[in-house]
Amino acid sequence: MVDILGVIQSFLTQKMGIDGNTIARGWQDRAALPDSTDYVVLTLLTEQRHGTNVHERFDDETSQTDIIEKISMLAEHTVQVDFCGTDEQEVMARATQLAIFARDGVAVEFLKPYGILPLYAEDVRSAPYTNEQRQWEVRYIVALHIECWHNVHISRDAFTRVNILLEDVDMHHPVTTE
């Protein structure tokens, strides 16, 4: 399975120049935020299935009686990217930059080798919050919608030969009328 948050983190560091040490994965794990006044939080919000499963079968090279079946599901994911900091203009500019890249070939080219397709980015939203000192903190959010395949492999029983016996039913079991 693709490490979606890891790929988005790589995008932020390589294409936007954000220090990887200032990127946290999600609010939900109660991990400490980066030791910085400017940081980014990545959260995988949703996974929505698109369509039904796709099945492919392959010969198992190690077995005479098994095949490997790959079952794939196409899913859309929403990744929330929170840009937090002290300078409101700078924080908003970084969020806007991500929204621009996500709606452009820059994101398509970067994500394609990972099997991820960027669908669209929602508009940038201001979402200030209060910190532990009850002071307002600057936060701008961009929600990225991406699509990728998830695959699982399973071994299935199979056979390599079939013996068929054909029997003339009428000859061995004649029809009788009463």
Question: Mind listing the domains of the chain with CATH numbers?
Answer: 4-172 (3.30.2000)
Task: Name the burial class of residue 103, with classes exposed (0-12), middle (13-18) and buried (19+) by CB atoms within 10 angstroms of its CB.
Answer: middle
Instruction: State the residue for tokens 């698109």.
Output: 50
Q: What is the pLDDT of residues 115-148, one digit of tens each?
A: 999 999 999 999 998 877 788 889 999 999 999 9
Q: Report how many helices (DSSP H) and strands (DSSP E) the chain contains, helices first.
A: 4, 8
**Nearest alpha-carbon partner for 5 in 138, 104, 114, 113:** 114
* 140 Cβ contact list (under 8 Å, min separation 6): 82, 83, 91, 92, 94, 95, 124, 125, 126, 127
Q: What is the pTM of this model?
A: 0.80
Q: Are 86 and 38 spatial neighbours (Cβ–Cβ below 8 Å)?
A: yes
Q: What is the pLDDT of residues 51-71, one digit of tens each?
A: 899 998 877 677 666 788 899
